[in-house]
Amino acid sequence: MSHGGVLDAKTPGKRSKAPFTILIVEDSPTDIELMLHALEDADLKPLGGDFEMEVRANAEGALQLLAERSVDLVLTDMMLPGLSGLDLVGRIQALDPNLPVLVVTRMNTVSQAVDAMRRGAFDYIVKPVNAADLEMRLHRAIRISEILRRHAIYEHHDRQVYESNSLVGGSRAFEQIISRIREATQSRSTVLITGETGTGKGLIARAIHQQSLQPDHPFQIIDCTTLPEGMMESELFGHVRGAFTGAISDKPGLIELANGGTVFFDEIGELPLPLQSKLLRVLEDNEVRPVGGTRVRTVNIRFIAATNRDLERRVRDGSFRKDLYYRLAVISIAVLPLRERREDIPVIARHLLTKLSREMGKPGCHFDERAMEALVAYDWPGNGRELRNVVERAVLLATNETVRASDIRGLLPGREADSAGIPDIGLTSLPYIEAKERAIDQFTKAYLEAKLVQHGGVITKAAESSGIPRQHFSLLMKRFLGSDAAGET
């Protein structure tokens, strides 16, 4: 037997390479002795060889241990001083429902053991403990808890992946998108997502894949705008050896590589007509024919396509195949631009701020009310992607935790012109000298911010490209952006 770390109850599924740990909760030294002997006699090899024991004389001690470290299985006596074995079962259930607890009882307290099972205990063992009986029950408990845990790992993993790329919103239009996603996950039908650039079409495609029946299979993104010209066909469908000069061996295409999973065709509207007909055949027959090959390969793939083009218009003008359009749009999801679902702006902006500020080591950033008003009022021609860029720059430039309207306005296009000296209504209400000073201040602030963004926040580079000595640049930063910023690189 050896000692070491065990399963982390707070992180489902994070198992260290530790021996299997059994916690015995028993106050009688004789019974502890008997239990240890029985465990040693039991053939616990299939558990992975090594196992170790922790012994506690009461439920309170057991709970304290569980708060400090995780164990794989608990064997507890029913009759304990202080909290009873029954109470302990309830507490452990609340802590980690996948941790198997076996209660050890005397014949005359079997009814209590049955109560414990109602509270979530996995099984009970009657004293005196018999090695063969113990072994059989332990194996069963462990097998089932492993299954539960594996399930918890998937759920946790899924949630993490989904949250990190998560799609958020609060509008009616967003709710409709979510219900379309749900509908799409019920089948393997092809999905066509349409919407302006940056509206989250990629996130929707990923969400459909992650919530589908095979989320662990590949999610292959094929961006039709970046496929190398001349190689498109072989990139998509693969080729056989000798198909063309340089084809020195058989090579599977991107579609075949995603077999079992999802292929996401981004900007499908850009796919040339000859490849459109080849793709149609794949969608209809679930077969891929590599370039130069005579034999087809069967594939099982969910196809999702997205476009920011008006595909129906392209069908009308003959640049997109009508039959492919209908084959793709079995389920169609039309995503509105942000300016037509403004209720989503604060939700997405806050979500991005929390995520990005944490990633950039400035957790706790928040928008003040005016900043949020400025975000909601803006039209976002680049939609969520533009919003993300603005939030990222706001975090980069933030000198404290509050992002203000003035910080936001400086980052929105067109504002530099205002700041660069075109007097706004506020300025024209001031005497000339004062208005000029304010305009210069606004310009300087916007200029410094823009330079810092251009150079990823590196002051030396920003100063160099401005033609201002670094020390002077730092002083300007101190004056116009707040003192903390000037202490950086």
Ligand X SMILES: Nc1ncnc2c1ncn2[C@@H]1O[C@H](COP(=O)(O)OP(=O)(O)OP(=O)(O)O)[C@@H](O)[C@H]1O
Q: Which residues form the interface with ligand X (CB under 6 A)?
A: 167-169, 195, 197-203, 266, 306, 308, 348, 351-352, 384-385, 388
Question: Minimal CB distance to ligand X: which residue?
Answer: 384
3-state secondary structure of 171: coil
Write the single-letter amino acid at 422.
I
Q: Which is nearer to ligand X, 85 or 202 (CB)?
A: 202
CA 217 to chain centre: 16
Q: Which is nearer to ligand X, 203 or 376 (CB)?
A: 203
CB of 13 vs ligand X, minimal distance in Å = 26
* Assigned token pair, 251: 């090579």
Q: Which is nearer to ligand X, 57 or 193 (CB)?
A: 193
Cα(454)–Cα(472) distance, integer angstroms:
18
Buried b (16+ CB within 10 A) or exposed e, 404-424: bbebbbbbbeebbebbeeeee
CB of 140 vs ligand X, minimal distance in Å = 45
CA 192 to chain centre: 23
Do the strands 297-298 and 287-288 form a parallel or antiparallel pair, or are they unpaired? antiparallel
Q: Which is nearer to ligand X, 139 or 309 (CB)?
A: 309
Q: Which is nearer to ligand X, 177 or 254 (CB)?
A: 177
CB of 82 vs ligand X, minimal distance in Å = 50
CB of 338 vs ligand X, minimal distance in Å = 8
Q: Which is nearer to ligand X, 202 or 261 (CB)?
A: 202
Between the alpha carbon of residue 235 and those of residues 129, 222, 264, the distances in Å are: 65, 10, 14
CB of 248 vs ligand X, minimal distance in Å = 34
The torsion angle over the Cα atoms of residues 202, 204, 205 and 209, rounded to 10 degrees, is: 140
Q: Which is nearer to ligand X, 266 or 407 (CB)?
A: 266
| Phi, psi for 242 (deg, rounded to 5) | 85, 0
CB of 313 vs ligand X, minimal distance in Å = 17
CB of 177 vs ligand X, minimal distance in Å = 8
User: Given phi > 0 = left and psi -120 to 50 = alpha, else beta, which region is 7?
Assistant: beta
